[in-house]
């Protein structure tokens, strides 16, 4: 016990020191603002408006929760109002009909909503973009129609009346502020760290993220469920405040309003939804004034103004008010000196492979409807070798890479490494086994920095990088994060991008982007790298650099498969090649040997020399 206590004390002390070190003026300012918000009811004459204020704060909590789905995970959810309603009615039913006390009812509401969010997330998991928006919008309708159709459950149009609560509106307000701060803090902690980076990668290039071992589907589901759970908590508390659960409050317009607030304010920053909601509230007041002046129903005017707001933001680029304001602020105020380049001494170069086992593919075949893309391919990648895979366009090279990487399931054939079959393993699991592939196109994450992109890859080997540990910043999570950062920097140093660590990946040249893809893949600590056209668009000097890098990796014992059209480059780097034509292997061996093959020449359309 005393050892445990000592460890605890020292961990707490270390954590405290790191927090002090990370404390900034912005943090001080934020603390002052939060303190002022908490103290405001005691100082200002707000008692009459406290219920409205507390209601606004709970709505802001739900909006920040939505930012987890929309901003972090890129899920355009138009169903947050439905989750607010589910949480509200779960709470109301537990309290009004079940006679439960407050805390168990709240817990029940959160759990029910999280479960509903999980189910909805599973149902919409494979959908993207507009389809997600539509299906979540339909969910909003389903929830409100269900509530109004079963008045025995929901109290009908009169709503469900809750037992009188001991919490005053001021207590609700204070509680809401605390929850809002926690939601914002959680976002700020998660976004730049492993879970947030993985979600960002999944948001920008899901395919590339999967290739680096990011569990895209699970992360998106988790973000969606968390967003729903936060909405459920906000809904449960807001109904405790209102003392009545009214189905009409949780209609599709509420979902729309929250979505617009998040987009309007900026989905990628936790303060964006709060700013957006303030603007929406201003719309609401404006709508009332217009409505009373013109004799129009204020609800309709509000909907119209909200729609215009959304169009305006989308028309101006879609980043949101807070990012735009921040950008303007940086233009107006001279920016602080650029942070010093990270010490390369922190980097941990890719280490030599310990387990030297070949990647073996036997009889791989894949048909796409009537097209036989690959027919009975055998391939063996030995550790410490570079094997080229060449052939004309459409010969099945990329298909072969995707089958090896696990991105596609073969119709027949096997893939194994070190005698262990990988047939049942999807892409992420193959990455865990050390088989990592890169995309033919530049599969980088444009909005992440170079270092962040590499960290996505480094996250594959983390055991303590989950959302909860990251949130709580446990000692193991922090230690592992530091180690991952060292690995990521080492990979960047290896490919020569360490100096650009803080640049957005989208600003790199095409070749640099391909190097970044390589670095991200290296950060996963692979044993077999499958590179699809790594030399595309490279200048001769860049080709040389790349060739040196691949040679280096070969000496470290990696097995490399390189798909390339640039035969000079293939000659430069590959130990052996396999030639594909029309999905079949037509030759294997050294490049010189296969160049003499009649079939190979014919495949390359009679070229006299390959």
Partner 1 sequence: MQRLAIPLALCVLCAGCGGSDAPKAKTKTLLIAVNAPFSRTPYLGQTIANGAELAATAITTKDGEYRLRFKRYDTGLSAGEAVANVRRAVADGAVAIIDEGTGLNASWRIAADADVPICVTYQGGEGLVDPTKRPNVFRIAPTDHGTAFRLAEYLVPKKLKIALVIDDSTYGQEGLKSLRRSFAENPEAVAMRLSVPAGAANLAPEVLRARRSHATALLVWGEPGTIAGVVSAARASGWKVPVYTPATGGDPLVRQQLANHPDWVDGLTFATGRPTAEVGPGPFLSFQRLYEERFGVYLVGVKTPDGADVVQPPDLAMYSYDFVNVLSAAIQRAGGVKDGKKVIAALNQVSVPGANGDHRGFNERNHEGVVDDDVYFARFEGMTYQPVKDDPLSRNLTALDQTR
Partner 2 sequence: MRRLALIGALGSALVATPASSAAAKVVPLPWPPTVLPQEPPLAPPTEGVLPLEFRLKGRLQNRERVVIGLEENGLPRSIRVLQTIEVNRLGDYVFSIPAPVEEVVPGPGTASPPGQRVNQILWEGFSPGHRALAAWADLRLAESAPSLPVRVDLLTTVDGRPLEPGERRSGDLRVMLTISNRTAATARSFTAEPEPVSLAQALSRIRSAIRHGVFAEGLNVGLRGAETPETQQVAAPLALEGTLRFGPGAEIDGAPSGVVSLAAQLDGVKRRRLRLTIRGRAVNMSAPKLELRVRTTAVKDGVSAARNARDRLARTIELELTYARKRQYDMFLSSPDLAGQSSTTYVYRTAAAPKTVQLTTTTVDRDDDKVGWIVLGLVLAVALPAAAIAWAHS
By CB under 8 A, is residue 16 in contact with partner 2? no
Q: Among partner 2, partner 1, none, what does residue 466 contact (CB within 5–8 Å per kind)?
A: none
List the interface residues with partner 2, window 55-94 (CB under 8 A). Answer: none
322 three-class SS: helix
By CB under 8 A, is residue 18 in contact with partner 2? no
Q: Among partner 1, partner 2, none, what does residue 469 contact (CB within 5–8 Å per kind)?
A: partner 2
Alpha-carbon span 534 to 566, nearest angstrom: 10
Stretch that binds partner 2, among 3-11, 27-35, 197-205, 289-297 (CB under 8 A): 3-11
Q: Among partner 2, partner 1, none, what does residue 5 contact (CB within 5–8 Å per kind)?
A: partner 2
Alpha-carbon span 304 to 291, nearest angstrom: 12
- Give me the least distance between CB of 295 and partner 1, in Å please: 9
Alpha-carbon span 14 to 131, nearest angstrom: 47
Instruction: Let me know: does 420 contact 440? Beta carbons within 8 Å.
Output: no
Stretch that binds partner 1, among 291-299, 327-335, 416-424, 573-581 (CB under 8 A): 291-299
Could you say which of 2, 164, 370, 608 contacts partner 1 (CB under 8 A)?
164
- Give me the least distance between CB of 477 and partner 2, in Å please: 8
Count of residues engaged in binding partner 1, rule: CB under 8 A: 26
Q: Is 160 exposed, middle or buried (0-12, 13-18, 19+ CB in 10 A)?
A: buried
For 390-393, which contacts have Cβ atoms below 8 Å and span 24 or more sequence positions?
A: 390/563, 390/564, 390/565, 390/567, 390/570, 390/577, 390/578, 390/579, 390/580, 391/579, 391/580, 391/581, 391/586, 391/603, 392/581, 392/603, 392/604, 392/605
385 three-class SS: strand
Q: Among partner 2, partner 1, none, what does residue 4 contact (CB within 5–8 Å per kind)?
A: partner 2
Alpha-carbon span 416 to 390, nearest angstrom: 22
List the interface residues with partner 1, window 224-253 (CB under 8 A). Answer: 242-246, 248-249
- Give me the least distance between CB of 471 and partner 1, in Å please: 33
Stretch that binds partner 2, among 7-15, 88-96, 134-142, 205-213 (CB under 8 A): 7-15
Q: Among partner 1, partner 2, none, what does residue 475 contact (CB within 5–8 Å per kind)?
A: partner 2
Could you say which of 15, 192, 291, 349 contacts partner 1 (CB under 8 A)?
291
Q: Name beta bridge partners: 368.
A: 371
Query: CA–CA distance from 215 to each of 127, 441, 446, 514, 560 (Å)?
Result: 16, 21, 19, 22, 24
CB under 8 Å to 253, separation ≥6 — which residues? 81, 299, 303
Alpha-carbon span 370 to 364, nearest angstrom: 17
442 three-class SS: coil
Neighbours of 7 (CB within 10 A): 11
Q: Which residue, 47 or 539, is less far from partner 1 as judged by CB?
A: 47
DSSP state, residue 392: S
Q: Is the CA virtual torsion 501, 503, 504, 507 positive or negative?
A: negative
Neighbours of 325 (CB within 10 A): 15
Q: Which residue, 28 or 248, is less far from partner 1 as judged by CB?
A: 248
List the interface residues with partner 1, window 308-347 (CB under 8 A). Answer: none
Q: Among partner 1, partner 2, none, what does residue 244 contact (CB within 5–8 Å per kind)?
A: partner 1
What mask, x for binding partner 2 by CB under 8 A, covers residues 452 to 491?
------------x----x--x-xxxx--------------
Neighbours of 485 (CB within 10 A): 19
Alpha-carbon span 267 to 256, nearest angstrom: 14
Instruction: Let me know: does 517 contact 533? Beta carbons within 8 Å.
Output: no
Residue whose C-alpha is closest to residue 375's, from 602, 586, 604: 586
By CB under 8 A, is residue 171 in contact with partner 2? no
Q: Among partner 1, partner 2, none, what does residue 151 contact (CB within 5–8 Å per kind)?
A: partner 1
Q: Among partner 2, partner 1, none, what does residue 55 contact (CB within 5–8 Å per kind)?
A: partner 1
By CB under 8 A, is residue 392 in contact with partner 1? no
- Give me the least distance between CB of 244 and partner 1, in Å please: 4
DSSP string covering 211-259, please? HTT--HHHHHHHHHHHHHHHHHHHHHHHHHHHSEE-GGGGSHHHHHHHH
Strand segments, DSSP code E, in 41-168 are 160-161
| Dihedral, CA of residue 367, residue 369, residue 373 and residue 379, to nearest 10 | -10
- Give me the least distance between CB of 97 and partner 2, in Å please: 23
By CB under 8 A, is residue 312 in contact with partner 2? no
Q: Among partner 2, partner 1, none, what does residue 349 contact (CB within 5–8 Å per kind)?
A: none
Q: Among partner 1, partner 2, none, what does residue 161 contact (CB within 5–8 Å per kind)?
A: partner 1
Alpha-carbon span 357 to 527, nearest angstrom: 8
Q: Which residue, 352 or 472, is less far from partner 2 as judged by CB?
A: 472
Instruction: Let me know: does 603 contact 579? Beta carbons within 8 Å.
Output: yes
- Give me the least distance between CB of 80 and partner 1, in Å please: 17
List the interface residues with partner 1, window 123-162 (CB under 8 A). Answer: 151, 155-159, 161-162
Stretch that binds partner 1, among 229-237, 297-305, 313-321, 502-510 (CB under 8 A): 297-305
Give the relative orientation of helices 80-92 and 216-242 as an angle to the nearest 10 degrees. 50
- Give me the least distance between CB of 164 and partner 1, in Å please: 6
Neighbours of 28 (CB within 10 A): 10
By CB under 8 A, is residue 289 in contact with partner 1? no
Q: Among partner 2, partner 1, none, what does residue 118 contact (CB within 5–8 Å per kind)?
A: none
Q: Among partner 1, partner 2, none, what does residue 236 contact (CB within 5–8 Å per kind)?
A: none
Alpha-carbon span 343 to 535, nearest angstrom: 29
Q: Among partner 2, partner 1, none, what does residue 341 contact (CB within 5–8 Å per kind)?
A: none
Q: Which residue, 298 or 466, is less far from partner 1 as judged by CB?
A: 298
Alpha-carbon span 306 to 130, nearest angstrom: 19
- Give me the least distance between CB of 284 and partner 1, in Å please: 12
Stretch that binds partner 2, among 1-9, 76-84, 169-177, 263-271 (CB under 8 A): 1-9
- Give me the least distance between CB of 105 and partner 2, in Å please: 16
Tell me which residues touch partner 2 (CB under 8 A): 4-5, 7-8, 11-12, 464, 469, 472, 474-477
Tell me which residues touch partner 1 (CB under 8 A): 47-49, 51-52, 55, 151, 155-159, 161-162, 164, 242-246, 248-249, 291, 297-299
């Amino acid at each position: 016990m005393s050892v445990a206590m000592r460890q605890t004390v020292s961990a707490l002390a270390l954590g405290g020191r790191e927090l002090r070190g990370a404390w900034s003026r912005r943090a001080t300012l934020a603390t002052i603002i939060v303190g002022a918000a908490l103290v405001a009811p005691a100082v200002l004459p707000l008692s009459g408006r406290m219920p409205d204020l507390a209601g606004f704060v709970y709505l802001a909590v739900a909006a920040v929760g939505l930012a987890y789905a929309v901003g972090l995970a890129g899920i355009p959810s138009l169903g947050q109002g439905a989750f607010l309603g589910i949480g509200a009615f779960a709470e109301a039913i537990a309290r009004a009909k079940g006679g439960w006390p407050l805390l168990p009812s709240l817990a029940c509401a959160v759990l029910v909503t999280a479960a509903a969010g999980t189910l909805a997330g599973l149902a919409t998991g494979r959908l993207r973009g507009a389809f997600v928006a539509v299906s979540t919008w339909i969910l909003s309708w389903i929830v409100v129609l269900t509530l109004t159709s079963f008045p025995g459950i929901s109290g009908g149009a009169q709503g469900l009346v809750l037992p009188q609560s001991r919490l005053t509106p001021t207590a609700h307000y204070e509680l809401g502020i605390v929850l809002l701060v926690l939601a914002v803090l959680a976002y700020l902690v998660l976004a730049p760290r492993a879970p947030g980076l993985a979600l960002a990668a999944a948001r920008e290039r899901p395919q590339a993220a999967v290739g680096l071992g990011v569990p895209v589907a699970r992360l998106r589901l988790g973000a969606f469920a968390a967003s729903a759970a936060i909405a459920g908590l906000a809904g449960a508390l807001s109904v405790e405040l209102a003392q009545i659960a009214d189905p009409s409050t949780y209609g599709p317009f509420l979902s729309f309003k929250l979505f617009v607030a998040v987009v309007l304010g900026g989905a990628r920053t936790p303060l964006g939804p709060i700013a957006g909601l303030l603007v929406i509230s201003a719309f609401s007041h404006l709508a009332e004034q217009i409505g009373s002046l013109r004799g129009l129903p204020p609800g309709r005017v509000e909907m119209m103004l909200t729609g215009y707001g959304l169009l305006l933001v989308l028309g101006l680029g879609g980043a949101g008010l807070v990012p735009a304001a921040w950008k303007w602020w940086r233009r107006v105020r001279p920016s602080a000196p650029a942070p010093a380049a990270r010490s390369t001494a922190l980097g941990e170069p890719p280490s030599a492979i310990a387990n030297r086992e070949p990647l073996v593919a036997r009889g791989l075949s894949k048909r796409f409807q009537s097209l036989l893309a690959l027919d009975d391919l055998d391939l063996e990648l030995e550790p410490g070798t570079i094997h080229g895979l060449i052939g004309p366009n459409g010969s099945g090279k990329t298909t072969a890479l995707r089958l090896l990487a696990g991105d596609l399931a073969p119709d027949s054939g096997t893939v194994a490494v070190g005698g262990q079959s990988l047939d049942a393993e999807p892409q992420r699991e193959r990455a865990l086994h050390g088989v990592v592939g890169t995309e033919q196109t530049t599969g980088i994450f444009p909005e992440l920095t170079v270092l962040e992109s590499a960290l996505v890859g480094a996250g594959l080997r983390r055991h303590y990088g989950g959302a909860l540990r990251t949130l709580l910043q446990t000692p193991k999570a922090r230690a592992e994060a530091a180690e991952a950062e060292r690995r990521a920097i080492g990979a960047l140093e290896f490919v020569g991008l360490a100096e650009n660590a803080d640049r957005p990946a989208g600003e790199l040249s095409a070749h640099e982007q391909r190097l970044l893809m390589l670095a991200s893949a290296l950060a996963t600590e692979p044993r077999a790298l499958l590179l699809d056209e790594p030399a595309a668009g490279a200048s001769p000097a860049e080709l040389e650099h790349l060739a040196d890098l691949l040679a280096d990796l070969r000496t470290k014992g990696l097995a490399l498969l390189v798909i390339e059209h640039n035969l000079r480059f293939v000659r430069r780097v590959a130990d052996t090649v396999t030639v594909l034509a029309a999905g079949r292997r037509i030759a294997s061996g050294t490049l010189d040997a296969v160049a003499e093959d009649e079939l190979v020449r014919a495949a390359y359309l009679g070229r006299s020399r390959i």
